[in-house]
Amino acid sequence: MKRYIAIIPARYASTRFPAKPLALLGGKPIVQRVYERVEPFFDEAVVATDKEEIMLCVQSFGGRAIMTSPNHKSGTDRCWEAYQKSGSTCDIVVNVQGDEPFIHPAQLQAIKSCFDDADTQIATLAKPFDQNADFAYVENPNSPKVIVDSKGFAMYFSRSVIPFVRGQEKTAWTRHHVFLKHIGLYAYKTEVLEAITRLQQSPLELAESLEQLRWLENGYRIKVQHTMQETIGIDTPEDLQRAEIFLKRQEGEII
């Protein structure tokens, strides 16, 4: 039986939203919302942070937090340091974004299920774009796209729309192909997480500013599981306002 640990990177110094993990959503810090959402589905859960205030906040609601270096360039590197310090012996490390308070239980189960395939080294999720979606939404470079092979493994990730649909107007592309929006939830076999943190940045990664391309360029296999749930991340104070409305709807306060 595989054992899973969820690690939640929670960085204090966000350019667009400083101290974001401590911002209140429905009366609770965002980091608490994420932790309480995630913890029941894993053998272990821990917040990886670079700020003592966040660690103390997590401890105040009964969660576990680990201090990590403020110099990490990615959540992946922060996850590996936290895993090493955790004393865990889990087989799989799941990297849950610290600004995803509405992550769905089905998504957590889906990413765990990827490791039923022995060939899976890294796992992530993708959501089909609605065939009636405005093409500008599909084309948004802040929503990376992914294409997969016949066994469900990633072939490529891009900020561009992939694949190109030849012979059709762009506005009609979604009616001729199912495009996949990448959802930034990752899981790694523990030994793979250790190995990928040692890799140098790759040409494709630098071109697209997508860390996962480094892993593909180095031959790692990324299993992609489909999800029908949309994630609602919080990147800015304006996103937090929208999240408050969404939370109230979830709790039945708005009809």
Rounded mean pLDDT for each run of 10 residues along the chain, 255 residues in total: 96 86 95 96 96 96 96 90 97 94 95 96 96 90 95 97 95 93 96 97 96 97 94 87 88 56
DSSP sequence for 210-226 = -THHHHHHTT--EEEEE
Strands 44-49 and 4-10: parallel
What is d(CA 69, CA 58) in angstroms, rounded to the nearest whole number? Answer: 17
The answer to whether 197 touches 80, Cβ cutoff 8 Å, is yes
The answer to whether 82 touches 68, Cβ cutoff 8 Å, is yes
In the numeric block, which tokens belong to residue 142? Answer: 């802040």
Cα–Cα–Cα angle for 43, 44, 47, rounded to 5 degrees: 155
The answer to whether 129 touches 137, Cβ cutoff 8 Å, is yes
Q: Which of 84, 98, 174 is nearest to 130 (CA)?
A: 174
In the numeric block, which tokens belong to residue 245? Answer: 């409305």
pLDDT for position 255 = 43
Partners of 226 in the β-ladder: 126
What is d(CA 240, CA 149) in angstroms, rounded to the nearest whole number? Answer: 36
Question: pTM here?
Answer: 0.92
CB atoms inside a 10 Å sphere around CB 238: 11
Continuous segment of H or E residues that includes residue 24: strand 24-25
The sign of the CA dihedral 32, 38, 40, 46 is: negative
